[in-house]
Amino acid sequence: MAEMIDKLLEFLSEDLGTGDITTDSILPKNAMGQAAIIANETGVVAGVREAGLLFDHLGLDHDFLKKDGQGIIKGETLVDIHGGLRDILRVERLVLNILSRLSGIATLTSEFSGICRPYGVRVMGTRKTTPGFRAFEKRAIEMGGGLPHRMGLFDAVLIKDNHISAVGLKEAVKEARIKNPGERIEVEVSSLEAAAEAINAGAEIIMLDNLSPDEAREHIEKLEELGLRRAVEIELSGGIGRNNVKAYAKAGADRISVGALTTGSKWFDYSLKIV
């Protein structure tokens, strides 16, 4: 939590600089007031924890009417804020930016998760995140009902095409297993042959990358015929969006990783109003 507030205060410093010259010129130091943040569309809330930390830091009383992960309807109030008007206006844009960005990710993730859930498929994020903002965006994916996947290169073994090009598939799995005992090994492949080779080499997770939904289904069915399907968890990735996520969900995989959760989500529309 300390690391999070430090990051948030860094964001605030970026916006505030030497001070809010407009607000400080107009409002007396002791001016008190009330504000509300209102949803201008319907979706899923994320960013409440982050906004609350900023309000606490500035000594602003606040009452959130929704929690992270809950739905919100157009016109509903997310939070009532009481305190110094100067502080409310100083933090207004940063709080709205955070809530809008994270609620947008949570809303899109919820949409994708709702499509995939009937087929027993979990939706996951990727490392396609905003530099310096990954922890926040990954949490927003969770608030939308998805899985964060890797936080970085440090917390999971994922052997990708360039690793395989450098040392070969079997050697890559072998070395990863030796250096990371007890860790699950995931291998990215684009062909049935490579998938079978990775499974036989001891991989626990297979990422079928950049295949069409039909190709993915055929590969999974063939792995079933070969008696290899139950030995691994299968993930689909590459080119998955709103227009085809259902087709991928029906292909028979266990999970789908979608870069569009962060790269393709729109900002959710909130407004802060002094009342």
Q: Has 128 been annotated as catalytic?
A: yes
pLDDT attached to residue 32: 97
160 is catalytic: yes
Q: Tell the CATH topology of 2-104+266-274.
A: Aldehyde Oxidoreductase; domain 3 (3.90.1170)
Low-confidence ranges of the chain (pLDDT < 50): none
Can 66 be counted among the known catalytic residues?
no
Number of helices (H) and strands (E) in the chain: give both, helices first.
11, 12
The reply to whether 67 belongs to the active site is no
pLDDT at residue 2, as a whole number: 76
Q: Homologous superfamily of 113-263 in CATH?
A: Aldolase class I (3.20.20.70)
Please pick, among 188, 197, 229, 255, the residue that the annotation labels catalytic: 188
What pLDDT does residue 119 have?
A: 97
> Distance of alpha carbon 136 from its chain centroid, rounded?
8
* pTM (2 d.p.): 0.95
Residue 138 falls in the annotated catalytic set: no
In the chain, where are the structural domains located? 2-104+266-274, 113-263
- Strands of the chain (E only): list them: 32-39, 43-44, 61-64, 71-72, 77-84, 122-124, 157-159, 185-189, 205-209, 233-237, 255-257, 270-274
